[in-house]
Amino acid sequence: MVELDSIKTSVWPERVTIMDVGPRDGLQNEPYILPTEKKIRLIQGLVDAGIKWIEATSFVHPKAVPQMADAAEVVTGLPRRGDVRYFALIPNDKGYDRALQAGIKHLVLVLSATESMNQKNLNMSVAQSMAIAERLLARARGDDVMVRVDISVAFVCAYEGLTDPNQVIAQTNELLAIGAHQVCLADTTGRANPQQIAELFSALRRTHTADRLAAHFHNTFGMAVANTVAALQQGVMFFDSSIGGLGGCPYSPGSTGNTPTEDLVYLLDQMGVETGIALEKLCDVSDFIKTFSGKLPPSAFYRATRVKQAS
């Protein structure tokens, strides 16, 4: 008889870093504009729960994303903690300048893997976005700024269908070579499957160490947790998620929210992977979200615990 605990079926990272993108990616697709003080309260709740990387806001044109028009005010009100990294998303040079002026030293530069999505989201070609990335990454080295680059629709594009993995590999290689601290592959449409995830990250891990790569999954078809496991099997140890499952992409029709942070932490807890995040405190934050969203958070863990307790 074989002892089950003597079999090691997979090698997981011992610890995973989670970036909660709820205050930015989560709120940008909501129909309401959350007041600045409530955004700061939301971020404080995430800090209290133990989250050390938070995408707090974005410096984009307020006409394009009015929910982020108060980016500078949000940065001013952020809870000051030496062990917490606050990130801001930027699309271009102007966003970079505004973020630095506000005092942000950790940035997320976004571009797309496909021409159609890049035109829809950024109104420029992929080549133009890559040129901006090269310019800003050079500036960041002199400014002592950390820049992560997010590649949207890295697996499936709402406009072009399956994304060519060779294009994503080439982009990732180039971005890391020219100074990106990390590249995050985003399943923006939520249409990717675990095989796609495993194959693309496996190919990248042949060249790059695990700390240079991150994953950002949407849960449109309920695949976010399965895709997370596939990425973990390739040694990925940085993941994005959104408190309560908030979010979506205004330029990707049909896309719903990100991996709920509660569900991701529960998964990792059950697998013995450390996060340093307190589940019950995360649910407290989702309780707060429910007060202004008027909706039951789509997080499976939240519904199975808080909703059951209330019934």
Q: In this predicted model, which residue has the larger pLDDT, 88 or 246? A: 88
Cα separations in angstroms, 305 against 283, 294, 301 = 9, 19, 6
Count of alpha carbons within 13 Å of 202, Cβ hemisphere only?
8
User: Please, what is the average pLDDT of the chain?
Assistant: 92
pLDDT reported for residue 11: 73
Respond yes or no: is residue 184 known to be catalytic. no
Dihedral of CA atoms 261, 267, 269, 270 in degrees, nearest 10, equals: 160
Q: Is the pTM of this model over 0.85?
A: yes
Residue 249 pLDDT exceeds 70: no
Percent of the chain whose predicted confidence (pLDDT) is above 90:
83
Give the number of other Cβ atoms within 10 Å of residue 164's Cβ. Answer: 12
98-126 mean pLDDT = 96
What distance in Å separates the CA atoms of residue 188 and residue 156, rounded to the nearest whole number?
8
What distance in Å separates the CA atoms of residue 286 and residue 300, rounded to the nearest whole number?
12
186, containing H or E segment: strand 182-187
Domains and CATH numbers, the chain: 12-310 (3.20.20.70)
The catalytic position among 157, 184, 249, 283 is: 249
What distance in Å separates the CA atoms of residue 287 and residue 1, rounded to the nearest whole number?
47
Residue 130 pLDDT exceeds 60: yes
* Residue given tokens 């194959």 in the structure block: 199
Residues recorded for the chain: 311
